[in-house]
Amino acid sequence: MDNIIKEMIANLEKNGELKKDEFRWILTETKEQEIEWIRQRARSIADDVYGKSIYLRGLIEFSNYCKNDCYYCGIRCSNKQVSRYRLNENEILECCREGYELGFRTFVLQGGEDSHFTDYLMTKIIEKIKTCFPECAITLSLGEREKESYRRLKEAGADRYLLRHETANPKHYAKLHPAKMSWEYRKQCLYWLKELGYQVGCGFMVGTPYQTIDDLVEELFFLKEITPQMVGIGPFLSHKDTPFRMEKNGSLTMTLLLLSLIRIMHKKVLLPATTALATLDKRGRELGILAGANVLMPNLSPISHRKKYTLYDGKVCMGDEAAECRMCLEKRLESIGYHSVVERGDSEVIM
Ligand code: SAH
């Protein structure tokens, strides 16, 4: 095997970065055997930090109403094929209760940008969850809001916020979103969230239309700039009722390689093996973990609504009860020598 790769990865491990050309080279020229070596380095770093423990987050998709019209997303407002739903406070609490019984200690409330969920309503929901489950962490994933809104939700008890930046390149962003959506504002939101003391997750899709290798290299630099506590990445998957219906899906190999590089650069970062990865390959979650991921986010949403939260086609685990899902995941983890833990799983990345 090429010693240059070993040297580059050793540098990456030591300094947390490489030159653009070097990243470009790794993303384009590495062969199977070299990728395997990178993967092993990444996994061994993750093992040093987290051992064989995998953190679980219970995902509650509480609304598929969205005012945005992202070209890639199945729940974009122009998609009239979607039957829209939102969960009320009791239904959300019911998901939490079920999740709690199954050992989840983080709940992720994710939804489209739904103006029904005002600060008043969200604050009430957050406070209620915190009263019922004081030892659990709450992660919000509600998209872009105003700084004051983020502040109120934080004060109500939210601990973390996931807001993928989607792409680090503003020009590329403009090809994935309508003109009224702004890359600058999204980035600003990430900085506000950090300032307000949230544990922050950003992230991007791999293989979105028009993405270049240089864009992916930019991603790695962007992550250095933001230094998030969590990085959510997954392959782009096309959805039949979006403008990107004819576009091809992101690559499994590229997604896994990026997971490994991110682990090597950000040793303690929380890195989920996403549902999109599991959708792309039936062993996607296992492969993600073996490439350096340490978080899984199974679905706790009521089965009756799950199909309506379709961001991309073919999404897995649509019919499994939370309990079934939990067992299936544990078996998958065991098959590769890992296990889940009943913990909040806070980030050790310094804020
Ligand atoms: N409204 C929230 C949640 C968005 S859904 C927000 O704006 O943050 C969560 C993530 O799913 C998105 O950030 C996006 O990265 C991902 N996603 C959406 N459509 C996708 C697709 N077609 N393929 C893969 N991932 C997709």
The percent of the chain in helix, strand and coil, each rounded to the nearest 5, is 45, 15, 40
Helix (H) or strand (E) run with residue 109 in it: strand 106-111
Average pLDDT of span 24-52:
97
Helix (H) or strand (E) run with residue 350 in it: none
The pTM score is 0.98
**C-alpha of residue 75 to centroid of ligand 1, in Å:** 9
CA angle, 312 then 318 then 322, to 5°:
130
**C-alpha of residue 34 to centroid of ligand 1, in Å:** 31
**C-alpha of residue 311 to centroid of ligand 1, in Å:** 7
DSSP string, 121-151: HHHHHHHHHHHH-TT-EEEEE-----HHHHH
Residue 3: its pLDDT value, please?
Answer: 87
Average pLDDT of span 335-342:
98
Round to whole Å and give the CA distance between 62 and 111.
6
Residue 251: its pLDDT value, please?
Answer: 98
Residue 267: its pLDDT value, please?
Answer: 97
Largest distance between two CA atoms of the chain:
58
Of all residues in the chain, what percent carry a pLDDT higher than 70? Answer: 99
Which atom of ligand 1 is closest in space to residue 242's alpha carbon? 22
Q: Is 321 helix (H, G, I), strand (E, B) or coil?
A: coil
Round to whole Å and give the CA distance between 194 and 224.
14
Are residues 201 and 231 in contact, defined by beta-carbon separation less than 8 angstroms? yes
What residues are in contact with ligand 1 under a 6 Å CB criterion? 72-73, 110, 112-113, 141, 143, 163-164, 166, 205, 234, 236-237, 239, 276, 311-312
Round to whole Å and give the CA distance between 306 and 322.
12
Does residue 300 register a pLDDT over 70? yes
The number of beta carbons lying within 10 Å of the beta carbon of residue 155 is 13
Cα→Cα distances 315→82, 136, 237, 271, 276, Å: 15, 27, 9, 20, 7
Residue among 110, 92, 74, 105 nearest 203 (CA): 110
Residue 173: its pLDDT value, please?
Answer: 98
Q: Which residue among 60, 164, 242 is best mutated to probe the pocket of ligand 1, counting the most ligand atoms within 8 A of its Cβ?
A: 164
Residue 348: its pLDDT value, please?
Answer: 84
Mean pLDDT of the chain, nearest integer? 97
- Phi–psi pair at 243, nearest 5 degrees: -60, -20
Residue 290: its pLDDT value, please?
Answer: 98
Average pLDDT of span 216-241:
98
Are residues 239 and 310 in contact, defined by beta-carbon separation less than 8 angstroms? yes
Q: Which residue among 60, 72, 279 is best mutated to probe the pocket of ligand 1, counting the most ligand atoms within 8 A of its Cβ?
A: 72
Q: Which residue among 139, 145, 150, 205 is best mutated to probe the pocket of ligand 1, counting the most ligand atoms within 8 A of its Cβ?
A: 205
Does residue 1 register a pLDDT over 70? no
Which atom of ligand 1 is closest in space to residue 205's alpha carbon? 15
Average pLDDT of span 52-75:
98
Are residues 219 and 265 in contact, defined by beta-carbon separation less than 8 angstroms? no
**Residue whose CA is closest, atom 2 of ligand 1?**
143
Residue 122: its pLDDT value, please?
Answer: 98
pLDDT category at 254 given cuts 50, 70, 90 is very high
Residue 76: its pLDDT value, please?
Answer: 98
Are residues 268 and 228 in contact, defined by beta-carbon separation less than 8 angstroms? no
Q: Which residue among 142, 219, 308, 311 is best mutated to probe the pocket of ligand 1, counting the most ligand atoms within 8 A of its Cβ?
A: 311
Which atom of ligand 1 is closest in space to residue 276's alpha carbon? 24
Give per-residue pLDDT as tens, 178-214: 999 999 999 999 999 999 999 999 999 999 999 999 9
Which atom of ligand 1 is closest in space to residue 66's alpha carbon? 1
Q: Which residues contact 111 (CB under 8 A, 6 or more apart)?
A: 61, 62, 63, 64, 65, 66, 86, 117, 141, 142, 143
Give per-residue pLDDT as tens, 6-17: 999 999 999 999
- Phi–psi pair at 200, nearest 5 degrees: -110, 140
Does residue 25 register a pLDDT over 70? yes
Structure tokens that stand for 104 in this block: 């989840």
